[in-house]
Chains A and B, each alone.
Chain A
Amino acid sequence: MITTAVQEREHYLNESYGIKSWLLTKDHKRIALLYLFTVTLFFFLGGAFATMIRIELLTPRGNFVSNDTYNKLFTMHGVAMIFFFLIPSIPATLGNFFLPMMIGARDLAFPRINLLSWYLLVIGGLFALFAMLAGGVDTGWTFYTPYSTTYSNSWVIATALGIFVAGFSSILTGLNFIVTVHRMRAPGMTWSRLPLFVWSNYATALIQVLGTPVLAVTIILLFCERVFHIGIFDPALGGDPVLFQHLFWFYSHPAVYIMVLPAMGVISELVSVFSRKRVFGYHFVAYASMAIAVLGFLVWGHHLFVATQSVYAGLVFSFLSYFVAVPSAIKVFNWTATLYKGSISFATPMLYAFGFIGLFTIGGLTGLFLAALGFDVHVTDTYFVVAHFHYIMVGGTIMAYMGGLHYWWPKITGRMYPEGWAKLSALVVFLGFNLTFFPQFILGYMGMPRRYHVYPDEFQVLHVLSTAGASVLAVGYLMPMIYFVWSLKYGAIAPANPWGASGLEWKTQSPPPLHNFDETPVVTEEAYDYSTVIGEEVQIG
């Protein structure tokens, strides 16, 4: 013990040991790792469902699974990926770990509530897992009434309760982030010096806090309707099934921004660090996050263009859906302008950032197609929509999540990942992604409906391409899984600041000590000032 103490400094990972020191921890960094572990499990679970969907779609006939099973597969893929992976992914892992560090705080404002929110996610996840193992659920992740309340014979209630409980996890994370950003900033860390990752997580937290309770009460009503038949969504008693859709999308459209805003925050960090330039139009990017959070609440009606909504309402929602694209576009232009005359390095996180910018742009532009009333009617419930939101969620959010994981991996673990393999994986993910989802735009435009597994023969070529792409994508996601674990033992020792980044999280040792900083930092400069920092050499061995 005496001999190792010479080279091993105390940090949050070796400060205490044992299962209790993790399951009862109040350290935001350890809780972030608990989240990382949990959401990774759900990512691979959701991925397994996706794999089965893609295998089924290889042939035009339903000859791998039955109709019922197929319905369950796409439902459980959606539930696992959206509620238990994408929503918690960046905020609860990277946000949890780095938001307090970036503002120079010792922890979040409410560490015990932070731990509670992880337990809520786990309990919600167990409900959902139980439903999946007991026989699955087949309503689609949207739980539309009256199918979900009256006709479905699958595990609707167990799944919905799981989402209900996990929703409180999301609410509490948001609450914690808002209070932390308001009350825990280090001396000198003014609002206009906040890193953009903090701004975007703050905006996300506002949506989590304002939107998720509406989903919660909607699930309660769904529960009451299914169990007691109280009539609230039942036309037989004068209730309106479309009211469910309004309530559901009032949360679930802003939820798209819960998934993508933190990703934009990651990209702002990556683009700046690897161009060694301050983010162009810092204030515009920061306020664009807030604008997205606000406008995101006003566009839910574009999910109801063909669901008895009046034409007038359709026009308003169409206009607002165009409008919400403006702040997103501001961000894309500003990232691009940041690159201009920057000193660009093509490290793995930057490759993911480039992937994000391109794919998010395609996802966003096709979103504008869908916001146009006439075109939307043509492609409603087709693979065009499926391709669009996978470009946003997989091409956007997961790209940024992977980029962020690589970028902050040295800080989290104290080890470098293998750069060569990582670059290869970024490339494989990018190619696999496009091969998987680009054909789906064409399929959808030609009329392939979503949620069907029997289709006309002429669609088969595109479906085979998509399935082939999914296999490549799976390889791209498995590679980091392997080399990240490998790097924990064999990776090069990471210095405090391998990238020459300027954020406070890089001004402390890797991995950070229990309370993040040896003494509370005092901030004297704006974010992304690279005039005084240089990257440290990685020591090999």
Chain B
Amino acid sequence: MTELVDCFRGQVFGLCYRMLGHRQDAEDVTQESFVRALRSLARWDNQRDFRPWLLAIAANRCRSLLATRRNVPKPSSEVEELPDARSFREERHVGEEVSLALARLREEYRQAFVLFHEQELTYAEIAEVLDCPVGTVKTWVHRARRDLAEHLRRRGFVKESSDAV
């Protein structure tokens, strides 16, 4: 059991962290996902890959938590707007900006994007995890990319240059 958890905890935690944007919540949901997966291990079809099945459980737990969060009104301090890009552009790393933009994406886009780019799942595996058609997953990933790229452009992270790509 320990080996199994060690093998997949990074991926599950990574997905949860990306989905929830909160370290403690991500830890809790990771733990809950593993416990659920281990408890219902008998229902896992061993002809199929274990990782998408486990990530699907984690994704569902994240969605549930996000749904409960939506029902709780946020305190005003949490919904403050982003600071001006010019004053923070130099200090902020582009990675942090991507992370920030990711957190503002639509839930489906973010999940699909993270599963593709960070967990490196194939489109078919993501479709299995999210329980939707492959075409829909592709659309979500493409829209997530477009939104992220646009966010970076708006925030001035794309340097003007006459050179080629």
Q: Do A and B come from one complex?
A: no
**Residues of B bordering A, CB below 8 Å:** none
